[in-house]
Amino acid sequence: MRVFSGIQPTGAKHIGNYIGAMRQYVATQDANEGGAYFCIVDLHSITVEYDPRDLHDRSLDLAALLFAVGLDADRCVLFCQSHVAAHSEAAWLLSAVTGFGQLGRMTQFKEKGEGKEFVSAGLFTYPVLMAGDILLYQTDIVPIGDDQRQHLELARDVAERFNSRYGETFKVPRAVYPEVGARIMDLQEPTKKMSTTNGTPQGTVLVLDDPDTIRKKFKTAVTDSGREIRFVPEEKPGVSNLIEILSVASGRPIAEVEEDYDGRGYGDLKTDVGEAVVELFRPVRERYAELRSDEDELRRLLRIGAEKAQTTSAPTLHHMYERMGFVAR
Ligand code: ATP
Ligand code: LTN
């Protein structure tokens, strides 16, 4: 099985990104013979307003963070999307088999564009670039969080349409969502997903937050009316979110966490989740500081990743041009 996933170098990564995505990347890098490819999708991050001076640093921040959580350059391929030209090329070619109507129905496009004075064409075609990312690698499985469901469906449609119009070229990929934590909610507004771009700062726990900040964010988390600690997301979104986070951070099933807190108060739960998350991220913070201080080494590792990604994606890109009828060089 071949694994592929992408992650944006914008903003600081939060516990939702960790639980929904990064943790899965680490788990899949050994379990898959076909190799695991993880892409820092810098080309995607120019689709909303951004500062060019930041992009460079954020990309290196994210590389260091991904290595710090456990990706290993010898066991997976980590690279920047902009280093492999095939991604931009594939996006253009695939736009021929992507429906304008389907792109207009993407909720991320509607949400990120809403109320903005300037909405880029790139924000609209974002899912085409994403489909290319995945399809170029003949990917079997894509570990992602729940919010990417619609984009993955589009990538599958694009693959099928291309295959039927131009002949069998792509594998049709399948998404893999974590069993627990596919949609971590904002601690202050637990009916909204945790997000660096659309969430509340106090309700968003960053992987690199210092221990006291993490404790404080959990202490002030919004809970629900009633007193019972039970996992019922529709009825008790705040408490259920905390249970889910504690389950992942402590490695215990949800039912066991519920049992442990039977008859206890919300205060205990908040303190314990905070502490468990502090311990979960403590080694990550330490490794991050070390890795981030050596930019030359990070660049070297990303270069190696880009070379491997380029080699893997080249034959598929070549087939795309050929089957679409372009004159060979
Ligand atoms: P944000 O909403 O913070 O801007 P994002 O979803 O736009 O983040 P990425 O950082 O690229 O962008 O997301 C990386 C991965 O994290 C994706 O697989 C996404 O599904 C997952 N993810 C994002 N938010 C959550 C969340 N609240 N819970 C679980 N997984 C999430
Ligand atoms: N849209 C994704 C990031 C992304 C991605 C991908 C995820 C870009 N290309 C390919 C999986 C596979 C997001 O998380 N916002």
DSSP-assigned letters across all residues of 140-193: SEEE--GGGHHHHHHHHHHHHHHHHHH-S-----EEE--SS-SSPBPSSSTTSB
pLDDT in tens, 210-257: 999 999 999 999 999 889 999 999 999 999 999 999 999 999 999 999
Can you tell me which atom of ligand 1 is nearest the CA of 147? 20
Structure tokens at 186: 């904002």
Whether 81 is in the pocket of ligand 1, judged by its Cβ within 6 Å, is: no
What is the arithmetic mean of pLDDT over 5-19? 93
Which residues line ligand 2 at a C-beta cut-off of 6 Å?
Answer: 4-8, 41, 44, 130, 133-134, 142, 144, 148, 151
Ligand (nearest to CA of 174): 2
The count of C-alpha atoms lying within 13 angstroms of the C-alpha of 256, restricted to the half-sphere facing its C-beta, is 7
Q: Is-contact 5 25, C-beta < 8 A? A: yes
pLDDT in tens, 171-201: 999 999 999 999 999 999 999 999 988 899 9
User: Is residue 10 predicted with pLDDT exceeding 80?
Assistant: no
Give me the pLDDT at residue 220, please: 97
Predicted structure pTM score: 0.97
Pocket residue to mutate for ligand 1, from 3, 10, 17, most atoms within 8 A of Cβ:
17
User: Is residue 136 predicted with pLDDT exceeding 80?
Assistant: yes
| pLDDT band at 31; cut points 50, 70, 90 | confident
What is the arithmetic mean of pLDDT over 72-101? 98
User: How buried is residue 114: exposed, middle or buried, by Cβ count under 10 Å (0-12/13-18/19+)?
Assistant: exposed
Residues of the chain above pLDDT 90, percent: 95
Mean per-residue pLDDT over the chain, rounded? 96
Give me the pLDDT at residue 11, please: 63
Can you tell me which atom of ligand 1 is nearest the CA of 10? 10
pLDDT in tens, 265-315: 999 999 999 999 999 999 999 999 999 999 999 999 999 999 999 999 999
Strands (E), the chain: 3-7, 36-40, 77-80, 141-143, 174-176
What is the arithmetic mean of pLDDT over 108-130? 96
* Cα–Cα nearest to 146, from 101, 99, 179: 179
What is the arithmetic mean of pLDDT over 20-34? 92
Can you tell me which atom of ligand 1 is nearest the CA of 186? 27
Domains in the chain: ranges and CATH: 3-181+295-323 (3.40.50.620), 211-289 (1.10.240.10)
Give me the pLDDT at residue 32, please: 81
Give me the pLDDT at residue 33, please: 85
Q: Which residue puts its alpha carbon closest to atom 13 of ligand 2?
A: 7
What is the arithmetic mean of pLDDT over 145-174? 98
Structure tokens at 281: 């991220």
